[in-house]
Structure 1
Amino acid sequence: MPSPSAVSADPRATPLSPAGRPPAPRVTPVLAVLGGLAVLVAALAVASLFVGAGDTRPGRVLDFLLDRSGARADGQLHTVVATLRLPRTLAGLAIGAALGLAGALLQAATRNPLAETGLLGVNGGAALGVVVGISYFGVGSGFGYIPWALGGALAASLLVLLLAGAGRAGASPLRLVLAGAAMTFTVTGLINFIVLGSGKTYDEYRFWVLGSLSGVTSRSLTGVLPVLALGALAALPAIRPLSALALGDDAARALGHRPAVTRVVVAAAVTLLAAGSVALAGPLTFLGLVAGYVARRLMGPRTGAQLAASALVGAAVLLTADLAARVVIKPYETSVALVLALIGGPLLILMVRSRNVLLLGGPAAVSGGPGGRRAPARAHRGGDGGPDDSLVLRAGGLSMLVPRRGAAAVAGLAVLTAAALGLCVVLGSAVLTPSQALNALFGHGTHAAVLMVREFSLPRIVAGLLVGAALGVAGCLTQTMARNRLATPDFLGVNEGATFAVLLTVLGSSTATFGAWWSGPLGALLAAGTILLVAGRGGAQGYRVLIVGFAFAAVLRSLTELLLAKKDLDIAQAMFTWSVGSLNGRGYSSITALAIGLAVLLPAALLAGRRLRLLRFGEDVVTVLGTDPARTRLLVLAVATALAGLAVGVGGPIGFIALSAPVIAARIAGPARVPLVASALVGAVLVAVADTVGRTAAGDTEIPVGAIAGIVAGPFLLYVLLREQRT
């Protein structure tokens, strides 16, 4: 084999790149690829005009377009082609190109191939704007949604930019991600709060959120096109800075560019493109992700070519999805968002399984699960769970090391939990006074008061405590395993699997009674098994399981939204209330099942927690000590999944608890431990208190516990993650 010097000396040899490797072989010229994509888009646009859910023959459509045989005098044909299909096709071209371009811009600016337009909170802000317009201003048409959706999206993105640009860090990729996630949490809680109080609002919102091109008219398209054009023009000055930014922030500064300003410009362009698209067709996920990925594979590192290709690919993908939505269950239509999820989900999984994909600023950037962070230096001098802070308990030949701070934290939280139980009983009734409720708890007072407290209020509060405990432990296990604050059942697809399974049990029911609590853990375990299987080898120890879980959750969420849209309003609204997270009507039967499950799973969780502590020293050390890291992760995931499934089966997918309880517990118990017991107690208190607030804050109207949790989730997430990043 010739040496490198010999190869470089040969004039016929392939020249080496600066990294010492032969450059990638030149593929099809850029113009040829762009021309091929343009031809594909044109062919799909023609197909969109000729194919539909109705029975109009393609020959008659051609007669109309060519004005033959008096076709344009046919009123029905004019309605089908000119009023329905032509605006729909043009909207597919414009929205697909806009979202494809927005996805590529965002991926280039954040140097994250997994970024998509929902990252900036645009979809959530648009949805909140539509809900506000419907609920408080009587908006009730597709065209009427546009200014509200556009205003909500712009306001949410502006807040995200302000939050991400605060301080000396500038609008870094991580700060954009954190601010966008916090905004999404907050607006979701506000949407649930508003929608649950109005059946009319929910009836209109459940169809809009599916995403569709069917309601697009020439008037609405004309109103949104200037916004999309402005967003595309705003992206042009960012092409050269983005090319430099691909080399890193330091290299971009050396070339005379300002990375923070570039990201702000890109964020503004993405906001306009995504906001106009969401306002016109509803939230369409995965489109920017798919377009950016395909454009990079076709064009390589050329930023300008990537952006042009992503716009064409986005238009092609959306037209294809819209055609499929029209014909797959002809003569009816299905959700375009569901078709996009079915396309984008597998592609996202393919991306994270590829060796060529690097998740920049990913898990490590938001790492630090409870017990997974490196303890501060003072921890080893006592006071934070270090060796000097531990107490040795001996009984005969047995001994046990008990951390003083951890034990004191658990004792204090246990007292707080008991106090919360009493306060929730005393303050949780709108009919009884606190003294009457307290007397009824001990069997004194009228028969009606005793019945109300002991048979209705008390079991619900206890169910809330148990649900919160299960979510707290599940979140602590998954966060510690992945060393990632976002690695909770809420993000791993486990909650979505359990939710979809429970909803399936009432699919053919004429009521909205949820008695099949067992379907929650069953659906969660099936979802976790599928995620692990798809993630493949090593999926449980890297970011693969997180991204596969995200993709799986997106598909299931689209199916859930479609299921709710197909049910009668009363049943759908009751199902939606439960899908937000609600403890209404929970009795002693639910408590019994959940208590038995916790009694079995908590010892397994404590065993898994001890093994997780060893994993912090590295897999080699753990293997030498006789513990199999792969089996430990499987045990952790199985226990956490079963706990989350039980909680969802009883109380619905209550968000935020699995995320926040371990964080709070780690602050109290110290960073050197895996605070499973403390997380359980914190989660119990949070759910019980949130449920009591939801029952009493709005008078006669009850707010589900999931909505209360969602409203405070965003600010809390932003505070915790940005504080850790500064640290």
Structure 2
Amino acid sequence: MTLSHVGPPEVQPLGRPTPKGRPPGGRPLLVASAALVLAVALLAALSLSIGAGEVGPGDVLDYLLGRDGARDNSRLSLVVGDLRIPRTLTALLVGAALGTAGCLLQAVTRNPLAETGLLGVNAGASLGVVVGITFVGVQSGYGYLLWAFGGAVLASSLVLLIAGRRGGGSPMRLVLAGSALGATFGGVTSVLIVNSAETYDRFRFWVLGSLAGVEGFGKLEGLAPVLAVGFVVALLIARPLSALALGDDLARGLGHRPGTIRVVVALAVTLLTAASVALVGPISFLGLLAGFLARAVTGPRLLAQILLAGLIGAGVLTGSDILARVVSRPFEAPVSVIIALFGAPVLIALVRSKRLGAMGMTDPATDESPSRGDRAPALGRLAARLRTRTKRRAESLVVRRGALSVLVPRRAALAALFLAALLLCAVVLSAYAGQSDMGISRTFNAVFGSGDRFDVLLVQKFRLGRIVAGLAAGAALGLAGCLTQTLARNRLATPELLGVNDGATAAVLLSATLSGTFGAWWAGPVGALAAVLVVTTVSGGLGQRGYRVLVVGLAMSALASAVTQVVLSRRSLNSASSLYVWTSGSLNGRSYSVAVPVLIGLAVLVPLALVVARHLNVLRFDDSTAASLGVAPNRVRLLCMLLAVGLAGLAVGICGPVGFVALASPVIAGRLAGPLRVPVLGSMLVGAVLIVLADTVGRVALSGVEIPVGIVTTVLGGPFLLWVLLGRSAATRV
């Protein structure tokens, strides 16, 4: 499996014909558009006819036409005029807005996997609502609307400001800035939620997204001008955006300004998404699905894509809202869950179809053995490889003892020693730090079993067990991230791309729901493995299908995340609050018994990873070069992926889905050890240090309150991602 296209993968420019297949002509496109319009109209009529109040289609039609005094009937006026019509119009407009925004993002980033949360809009809106609930006491829908819209606009404005510095707002900088800021905002939101059960109780239902709170036209009238401006800007920017798909230089030659185009697109996406989130809550996956489906129907015609994406979004959200009302009567299911359950299989079916080739998103198959015509480039790459080996020997230290000799890289060895010393300091600090007034000397005495009995119990049973669990989880995450990043040749690649984290999290929560007990270590690896098996099987195996794997992985994550949200929303407040803390990533209550399976797994998997790392060095080149050096690329990829999945699943089983550790550990270790070797050992040490330090910070940052380790890493991970990937040294690369 090739993941070298990860984050963000570039598709063919929107204005060029694709080499495989031809986009649909004018007549098929008109037929498809007419069919979509008809489907949306039928769904709107069905939405008006279904719902509470025992009002059927005939009564609705009488009310709409004003027949037989229907509008004077108070019951019909309430059900149809104040509930169903505003709800249906809101579903149509919000769906169209999210579909249009998703299409614009996919076009401006040249990434068919871009989603409307990419600019941090959803995370900013969520933070705005939580701040309003926590500090202002907001309880009404209008209050949610104002705070959500303000948070969304603030988040996207910061993303544009950060991405525009020194880089002109390039697609990669927009993606990175949005991801980093969204993660930080999400972490701050979690900090506020875990400290207030009341805030979490209100937030956990709002965050699922629902149209159940739409009553009357008040909310819609307030944000209709915002949506209108967003739609108009989207249509006006279609032609310049099409020119931008040809490249910045050609766009400038045609009289356009690429930086200005990206800013205007971001403004349109912000207006559409912020207004949508303020009206119905954050609905994920819809923008991705609508933009993807529209591109499959229209080909490279951007204006047609935007129009059809709006129609598809309106139809999907309206249809999902109808299902949400009927699948669990007399209650309503979360509409975002319905969209994920419906949209993920559709997206998977589309990815597996032949239309993918017409979209310019398939990866050419490559032969492992170089052909005769490729021998000269392969020999050149082999010579470069030999020069690299010579440079390594010059920078290494030869250690001899008798007939045996070992080549030790000096910089990597020094980095490992430094990280080991730092890890020891982190462990000592974690054992000492806490809410008790225990000094250093008492802490050391307690570690070795002497001194006050309470001190010994606190340190040995609680703190040291928690530290060991954190060390095991951090090392596993660091190694998993190192394997996936090296395999993909991309610093943004993590096991999360294959749905590992979401699959493992859903499996742990399901096991807790079915068995009534929480903490089964085996559920995480089983869920991770199941997610990867589904992704690889559905995407067609471990061949040269990088885009297929990514799209199916996103769909799998959406499904698993929907399962997680449903489990949390159906449990009691106390149970849901404790489970939410774990899904944020927490070491609370973890001990030696939980860490032992991971330590056993590391004892087995680390030696294998060290052996595979030698072949991973060769895979940094292309497949033909690796084959000429005697390495089987597909076999190495399969082994690396299985290792990464097992490690990440074990880590989730210990402390839940801790973010950014798998991403940051290989980057930091690579900076310390140098670029000539895969930093397997260094990544493990960095991961362990990050987890232990983050857990220590979470325990002592707020008096009397513990912040889960995953929230700490998320809050600090966003600025780290910006520093590493958007700093001065990276300005020329993104």
Q: Same fold (TM over 0.5)?
A: yes
Q: Which residue of 1 aligns with 2:653?
A: 649
Backbone CA RMSD of aligned residues: 2.8
- Of the structure 1 ranges 326-335 and 569-578, higher mean CA displacement relative to structure 2 is found in 326-335
1:198 aligns with 2:202: no
Q: Which residue of 1 aligns with 2:463?
A: 457
Q: C-alpha separation between the residues in 2 aligned to 1:543 and 1:420? A: 40
Does the aligned pair in 2 maintain the 1:385–1:671 contact within 8 Å? no
1:86 positional shift: 1.2
What letter matches 2:589 in structure 1? Answer: G
Does the aligned pair in 1 maintain the 2:92–2:318 contact within 8 Å? yes
1:332 positional shift: 2.8
- Of the structure 1 ranges 305-314 and 249-258, higher mean CA displacement relative to structure 2 is found in 305-314
Q: C-alpha separation between the residues in 2 aligned to 1:716 and 1:39? A: 49
What letter matches 1:652 in structure 2? Answer: G
Distance 1:173 1:300, change over 3 A: same
1:410-559 equivalence runs, <5 A? 410-508=416-514, 514-539=518-543, 542-559=546-563
1:687 aligns with 2:691: yes
Q: Which residue of 1 aligns with 2:325?
A: 326
Q: C-alpha separation between the residues in 2 aligned to 1:102 and 1:693? A: 38
What letter matches 2:287 in structure 1? Answer: G
Q: C-alpha separation between the residues in 1 aligned to 2:284 and 2:298? A: 23
Q: C-alpha separation between the residues in 2 aligned to 1:405 and 1:117? A: 43
Encode CA deviations 1:504-524: one digit per residue, 9 max, x unaligned. Answer: 1111466xx522111111111
Q: C-alpha separation between the residues in 2 aligned to 1:514 and 1:576? A: 13
Q: Which residue of 2 aligns with 1:46?
A: 45
Does the aligned pair in 1 maintain the 2:17–2:300 contact within 8 Å? no
Distance 1:403 1:466, change over 3 A: same
- Of the structure 1 ranges 291-300 and 208-217, higher mean CA displacement relative to structure 2 is found in 291-300
Q: C-alpha separation between the residues in 1 aligned to 2:553 and 2:275? A: 29
Q: C-alpha separation between the residues in 2 aligned to 1:127 and 1:117? A: 14
What letter matches 1:221 in structure 2? Answer: L
Secondary structure in 1 aligned to 2:358? coil
1:59 positional shift: 3.1
1:153-552 equivalence runs, <5 A? 153-167=152-166, 169-217=167-215, 218-350=217-349, 353=352, 354-358=356-360, 386-395=392-401, 398-508=404-514, 514-539=518-543, 542-552=546-556
Encode CA deviations 1:468-511: one digit per residue, 9 max, x unaligned. Answer: 1111011101111111122112333101111111101111466x
Does the aligned pair in 1 maintain the 2:113–2:288 contact within 8 Å? yes
1:592-603 equivalence runs, <5 A? 592-603=596-607
- Of the structure 1 ranges 392-401 and 171-180, higher mean CA displacement relative to structure 2 is found in 392-401
1:347 positional shift: 4.2
Secondary structure in 2 aligned to 1:584? coil
What letter matches 1:311 in structure 2? Answer: G
Distance 1:70 1:477, change over 3 A: same
Q: Which residue of 2 aligns with 1:576?
A: 580
1:161 positional shift: 0.7
Q: C-alpha separation between the residues in 1 aligned to 2:57 and 2:330? A: 16
Distance 1:205 1:249, change over 3 A: same
Does the aligned pair in 2 maintain the 1:482–1:542 contact within 8 Å? no
Does the aligned pair in 1 maintain the 2:474–2:689 contact within 8 Å? yes
1:180 positional shift: 1.0
1:55-66 equivalence runs, <5 A? 55-66=54-65
Encode CA deviations 1:615-644: one digit per residue, 9 max, x unaligned. Answer: 224323433444322121111111111111
What letter matches 2:636 in structure 1? Answer: T
Gaps of 5+ in 2: 1-15, 363-380
Q: C-alpha separation between the residues in 2 aligned to 1:200 and 1:496? A: 26
What letter matches 1:172 in structure 2? Answer: S
Q: 1:677 aligns with which of 674, 681, 686?
A: 681
1:692-703 equivalence runs, <5 A? 692-703=696-707
Does the aligned pair in 2 maintain the 1:96–1:316 contact within 8 Å? yes
What letter matches 1:573 in structure 2? Answer: S
Distance 1:596 1:24, change over 3 A: closer
1:22 positional shift: 11
1:130-149 equivalence runs, <5 A? 130-149=129-148
Encode CA deviations 1:377-428: one digit per residue, 9 max, x unaligned. Answer: 999799x982211233445555432212112221221122122211211223
Paired residues in the alignment total 693
- Of the structure 1 ranges 221-230 and 265-274, higher mean CA displacement relative to structure 2 is found in 221-230
Does the aligned pair in 2 maintain the 1:211–1:282 contact within 8 Å? yes
Distance 1:327 1:25, change over 3 A: closer
TM-score norm. by structure 2 comes to: 0.89
What letter matches 2:422 in structure 1? Answer: L
Secondary structure in 2 aligned to 1:386? helix
Encode CA deviations 1:33-89: one digit per residue, 9 max, x unaligned. Answer: 544433332221111100236654333333443445555455444332222211110
Does the aligned pair in 2 maintain the 1:426–1:435 contact within 8 Å? no
1:348 positional shift: 4.0
Q: Which residue of 2 aligns with 1:627?
A: 631
Q: Which residue of 2 aligns with 1:123?
A: 122
Distance 1:380 1:669, change over 3 A: farther
1:18 positional shift: 9.9
Identity of aligned residues (%): 54
1:144 positional shift: 1.4
Q: Which residue of 2 aligns with 1:368?
A: none
Q: 1:717 aligns with which of 706, 715, 721?
A: 721
Q: C-alpha separation between the residues in 1 aligned to 2:476 and 2:319? A: 43
Encode CA deviations 1:694-714: one digit per residue, 9 max, x unaligned. Answer: 111101101111110010111
Q: C-alpha separation between the residues in 2 aligned to 1:297 and 1:417? A: 50
Q: C-alpha separation between the residues in 2 aligned to 1:182 and 1:568? A: 32
Does the aligned pair in 2 maintain the 1:487–1:546 contact within 8 Å? no
1:118 positional shift: 1.3
Q: C-alpha separation between the residues in 2 aligned to 1:571 and 1:98? A: 36
1:293 positional shift: 2.9
TM-score norm. by structure 1 comes to: 0.90
1:37 aligns with 2:36: yes
What letter matches 1:561 in structure 2? Answer: Q
Q: Which residue of 1 aligns with 2:12?
A: none
Distance 1:541 1:46, change over 3 A: closer
1:352 positional shift: 5.1
- Kindly indicate whether structure 1 or structure 2 has the higher relative contact order, using CA contacts under 8 Å at least 6 residues apart: 2
1:308 positional shift: 2.3
Q: Which residue of 1 aligns with 2:732?
A: 726
What letter matches 1:666 in structure 2? Answer: G
1:25 positional shift: 6.6
Q: C-alpha separation between the residues in 2 aligned to 1:546 and 1:653? A: 19
Q: Which residue of 1 aligns with 2:566?
A: 562
Q: C-alpha separation between the residues in 2 aligned to 1:115 and 1:38? A: 25
Q: C-alpha separation between the residues in 2 aligned to 1:31 and 1:248? A: 29
Distance 1:20 1:156, change over 3 A: closer
